[in-house]
Amino acid sequence: MDLETGDYQLLAGSVVLGLLVLFYGGTFVMSLFIGKKKENADGYMTAGNKIGFGVSAASMTATWIWASSMYASATSGYTYGISGPIHYGLWGALMILFIYPFGRRIRAVAPKAHTLAEVMYARHGRSSQLMLAGSNILGSVISLTSNFIAGGALIALLSPFSFRQGIIAVAAGILLYTLWSGFRASVLTDFAQVVAMLGAVVIIIPVVFFAAGGPGLFETGASNLSAQQSNFFSSDAFMNQGAPYIAAVLAYAIGNQTIAQRLFAVREDLIKPTFITATIGYGATIIGFGMLGVIALYAGITPIDGDTNNLIPQMAVTYLGPVLLCVFFIMILGSLSSTADSDLAALSSIAMADIYGQSVGKKNANPKTMLLVGRITMILATAAGLFFATGQMNILDLLVFVGALWGALVFPVIASFYWKKVTNMAFTVSTLAALALFLPVRFEWISMSGATGYIVDIISIVGVGVVLGLMSFGFFGLKIARIIGIAAVVIVAPFAFGTLHEYAVLSGSLVAYSVSTVVCYLMSVRSKQDFDFSTIKDRVGDFDPVETVTSDVDPVVTSK
C-alpha cells in the first residue's frame, strides 16, 4: 500500500468528495449561526469566559482526541498486548484530570485571561512569557501538521485523491469554518464533531470485534501473543509506554494552550465537571480504539508496510462495510479537524494576546487590530502546517524537544501560581538548566556507563518524587504532596538506582522535572520577593470595551 499515490482505493472519489462537503459544509453552516458581522476580540479568544458544561465538555473531549492518539493507542495495543491501550489512554486521560485543580487556581488568579503565557507575563515578565508562548506555538504547529498529515493519508488511502490533495482539502475545510469566529466556532463545531466521533466509536469497536471472530478470537489467537503481551501487568508495557506517559501527564497539560484556552472559556463553577467528563470521554475512546490493536494482534494481522499507523485504517477496510467505512472516515475527519481547529484558535490567541496585546499594552490594544492579527495568524499557521506536511519533515524529534520544554516548565509554572517567592530569574534559569541536562540524557549524547549513569539515576529518582508530589499537590495540598513525594523517592530508589538510565525516554523526562524543580526551589527559597497575586487580574483582562447592562436600560457600551 502506498499512501501517497492512493493505490488502495476503497471509496469512490465522488463519495469521499461528498463526505468532505457534508462534513466541512455542515461545520461551516454551524459557524454561520454564531457568526457576527463585528466579532469581539475576547470572544474570538475565549468566548467571553462563560460557556456552559455541554459545550465545554464536548470541546475539551474533541480537542484532546486527535487522529494520532487513536493510531498510537492501537499501536500500543498491538505492540504491548492487552495492557498496551491502558498504558496509552489512561495516562493521556489523566493529563486532563490532573490539571483541573491547578486550573481552578489559575482561573481564580486570572479570571479573564486568554493564554497562560499572558498570565506568566503579569506574574514574572517577558522571558517567562516567551518560553511558555514559544513552546505553545511550537506544540500547536506540530499538532496542526500532524493532523493535516493524518487527513491527507486517510484521503489518499481511501480515495483516488492524492496525499497532497487530501491535506489541502482538510486545511481549507478547517480554515473555512474557524477563520471568522475563531474560538467560538471551534468550540461549537466541536460538539458536532464529538457526537460523530463518540457515536462512531460506540458502533465500530463492537462491529470489528465480532467480525474478527468475537470471544473465540481470544482462544484461537492466544498463540500470537508473547508472555508479556498476554500479561495485564506487563513490565515491558509499563516501562516503555506507561511510565514515560505518567511523567508527561502534567507537562502536556501545562504546555498545551488548547487546554488553557478552554480553562479560561468555561464558566468558573463548571471547570470540575467539564474536566472530569472529558477525562472519561477521552480515556474510554482512546483505550477503546487501542482494542483494535489488541484484536489485530490476536487475529495475527501484520501492519501493511510494517507501519503500525496503518493498523486502524487496515482494520476498518478489512472488517467494515461501505456504510460503516463512511462513518469511520467521518470519525477520523472529526478527530483531526476538532484538534486542528483548536490549534488554530490557540495560535491566534497567542498572537493576539501575547504578541500584539502585551507589546502595545492592554489599554492601548485595539480590538479590531487584534482580530485582524488573529485571522492573519490562522492563515499563516495553516500555510506553515501545509508546508511542513508536504515537506514530509520529521516532526517527531521536535515533538520530543517541545515535550521536554513543557516538562521543564511544569514546576516553575505551578509554583508561580502558589509561591510568592518565585522570581523571573528562578523561572528562566531553572527551565534552561533542565533543558540543558535533558538533551544529552534523552538523545544519549553522553555515555551512561559508570558514574554518569548513577548520577542520572539519582536525578531521575528525585524526578519521580517531583512528579508524584506535584500530582498530589493539586488535589491534597502541600503537606500530603511532600509525604507522597518523599515516599515515592524512598520506595522507588532501591529498584531504580542502577537501571533507570537505561530507559532514555523516561529518564530524560524525569531529569527535566527534577532539575527545574531543584534549581527553581534553591533560587527562590531565599528570595525577598513577596508577590501579590491579586494584582494579576488587574493586569490581565478583557481587551474589548465592556457592555454594562442595567435593569431598565439597553446595553450601554462603556470603555473600561
Partner 1 sequence: MDIFWLTVYVLIWPVVVGGTLFVIVRAFYREWRQARAEGRGMV
Interface with partner 1 by CB under 8 A: which residues?
34, 43, 47, 51-55, 57-58, 61, 82, 184, 187-188, 191, 194-195, 198-199, 201-203, 205-206, 209, 214-216, 218-219, 232, 277, 280-281, 284-285, 287-288, 291, 294-295
Least Cβ distance, residue 194 to partner 1 (angstroms): 7
Helices 322-349, 126-158: axis angle to 10 degrees equals 160
Cα angle 344, 347, 350; round to 5? 150
CB 265 within 8 A of CB 115: no
Least Cβ distance, residue 185 to partner 1 (angstroms): 8
Picking from 525, 536, 251, the residue whose alpha carbon sits closest to that of residue 413 is: 251
Residue closer to partner 1 (CB basis): 218 or 533? 218
Least Cβ distance, residue 200 to partner 1 (angstroms): 10
Residue closer to partner 1 (CB basis): 209 or 533? 209
Least Cβ distance, residue 53 to partner 1 (angstroms): 5
Q: How far apart (Å, rounded) are the C-alpha atoms in residues 356 and 374?
A: 9
Least Cβ distance, residue 369 to partner 1 (angstroms): 23
Residue closer to partner 1 (CB basis): 345 or 467? 345
Least Cβ distance, residue 403 to partner 1 (angstroms): 26
Residue closer to partner 1 (CB basis): 101 or 281? 281
DSSP strand pairing (546-550 vs 553-558): antiparallel
CB 352 within 8 A of CB 41: yes
Terminal Cα distance for the chain, rounded: 60
Q: How far apart (Å, rounded) are the C-alpha atoms in residues 132 and 376?
A: 21
Residue closer to partner 1 (CB basis): 124 or 184? 184
CB 299 within 8 A of CB 221: yes
Picking from 557, 471, 501, 151, the residue whose alpha carbon sits closest to that of residue 339 is: 151
φ/ψ (deg, to 5) at 221: -100, 5
Residue closer to partner 1 (CB basis): 291 or 471? 291
Residue closer to partner 1 (CB basis): 40 or 145? 40
Residue closer to partner 1 (CB basis): 26 or 134? 26
Least Cβ distance, residue 555 to partner 1 (angstroms): 12
Residue closer to partner 1 (CB basis): 18 or 111? 111
Q: Tell me the H-state helices in 179-308.
A: 183-211, 217-220, 227-230, 235-237, 243-255, 257-265, 271-299
Longest C-alpha distance within the chain, in Å? Answer: 78
| Residue 220: count of CB within 10 angstroms of its CB | 12
Residue closer to partner 1 (CB basis): 12 or 195? 195
Residue closer to partner 1 (CB basis): 6 or 43? 43
Least Cβ distance, residue 314 to partner 1 (angstroms): 18
Distance set, CA 542 to CA 49, 264, 360, 364, 538 (Å): 10, 12, 14, 12, 10
Residue closer to partner 1 (CB basis): 214 or 391? 214
Residue with the three cell numbers 484538534? 339
Least Cβ distance, residue 158 to partner 1 (angstroms): 23
Least Cβ distance, residue 220 to partner 1 (angstroms): 11
Least Cβ distance, residue 193 to partner 1 (angstroms): 12
Residue closer to partner 1 (CB basis): 216 or 450? 216
Least Cβ distance, residue 81 to partner 1 (angstroms): 11
| Dihedral sign, Cα of residue 372, residue 257, residue 190, residue 273 | negative
Residue closer to partner 1 (CB basis): 98 or 191? 191
Least Cβ distance, residue 353 to partner 1 (angstroms): 19
| Dihedral sign, Cα of residue 338, residue 311, residue 89, residue 140 | negative
| Residue 43: count of CB within 10 angstroms of its CB | 21
Q: How far apart (Å, rounded) are the C-alpha atoms in residues 435 and 432?
A: 5
Distance set, CA 256 to CA 201, 393, 460 (Å): 25, 22, 24
Least Cβ distance, residue 104 to partner 1 (angstroms): 20
Positions of E strands within 296-399:
none
Q: How far apart (Å, rounded) are the C-alpha atoms in residues 491 and 488?
A: 5
Torsion of CA 321, 324, 330, 336, to 10 degrees: -80
Distance set, CA 107 to CA 62, 102, 469 (Å): 22, 9, 22
Q: How far apart (Å, rounded) are the C-alpha atoms in residues 44 and 179?
A: 10
